[in-house]
Amino acid sequence: MSLRDLPPVDALAALVDAPRPVALAAARAVLRERRTELLAGAADEADLGQRARAWAAASTRPSLRRVINATGVILHTNLGRAPLAPEAVAAVVEAAGYSNLEWAAGARASRHTHVSALLRELTGAEDGFAVNNGAGAALLAVAALGGAAVLVSRGQLVEIGGGFRVPDVIAQAGARLIEVGTTNRTRLADYADALTEDVGAILRVHRSNFAQVGFVEDVPIERLCELAVPVIDDIGSGALDELRLAPPSGGDGSRGEAAGQADAGSRRALSAVGDEPPVRRSVAAGAALVVFSGDKLLGGPQAGLLVGRADAVAAAKRHPLARALRIDKLSLAALEATLRLHRDAPERVPALAMLQDTPDAAGLAALIEGAEVIESSARVGGGSLPLLELPGPVVALPGPPEALAAALWAHEPPVIGRIEGGRLLLDPRTLTAAELPEVADAVRKARNP
Tell the burial category of 374 from Cβ atoms under 10 Å away from its Cβ (0-12, 13-18, 19+).
middle
Q: Is 202 strand, coil or helix?
A: strand
Q: Is 220 strand, coil or helix?
A: coil
Cα distance between residue 391 and residue 344, in whole Å:
29
Q: Is 291 strand, coil or helix?
A: strand
Q: Are 366 and 360 in contact, with CB atoms under 8 Å apart?
A: no
Cα distance between residue 213 and residue 80, in whole Å:
30
Convert the pLDDT of each residue in 249-258 to its tens digit.
333 333 233 3
Q: Are 173 and 264 in contact, with CB atoms under 8 Å apart?
A: no
Calculate the alpha carbon distances from 340 to 120, 295, 323 in Å.
12, 15, 25
Q: Are 298 and 83 in contact, with CB atoms under 8 Å apart?
A: no
Q: pTM (2 decimals)? A: 0.87
240: DSSP letter: -
C-alpha torsion sign, points 35, 41, 46, 50: negative
Cα distance between residue 356 and residue 264, in whole Å:
10
Q: What is the mean pLDDT of the chain?
A: 89
Calculate the alpha carbon distances from 356 to 97, 209, 267, 353 in Å.
36, 21, 8, 5
Q: Are 225 and 231 in contact, with CB atoms under 8 Å apart?
A: yes
Q: Is 75 strand, coil or helix?
A: coil
Convert the pLDDT of each residue in 258-296 to its tens digit.
334 434 443 344 444 546 889 999 999 999 999 999 999
Q: pLDDT 10s digit of each residue in the chain, 449 long?
A: 788 889 999 999 999 999 999 999 999 999 999 999 999 988 888 999 999 999 999 998 899 999 999 999 999 999 999 999 999 999 999 999 999 999 998 899 999 999 999 999 999 999 999 999 999 999 999 999 999 999 999 999 988 766 778 999 999 999 999 999 999 999 999 999 999 999 999 999 998 777 788 888 999 999 999 999 999 999 988 888 654 433 333 333 332 333 344 344 433 444 445 468 899 999 999 999 999 999 999 999 999 999 999 999 999 999 999 999 999 999 999 999 999 999 999 999 999 999 888 889 999 999 999 999 999 998 888 777 777 888 999 999 999 999 999 999 999 999 999 999 999 999 999 999 999 999 999 999 999 87
Non-local CB neighbours of 188 within 8 Å, separated by 6+ positions:
219, 223, 224, 226, 227
Q: How many CB atoms lie within 10 A of CB 77?
A: 14
Q: Label residue 307 left, alpha or beta by phi (over 0 means left) and psi (-120 to 50 means alpha).
A: beta
275: DSSP letter: H
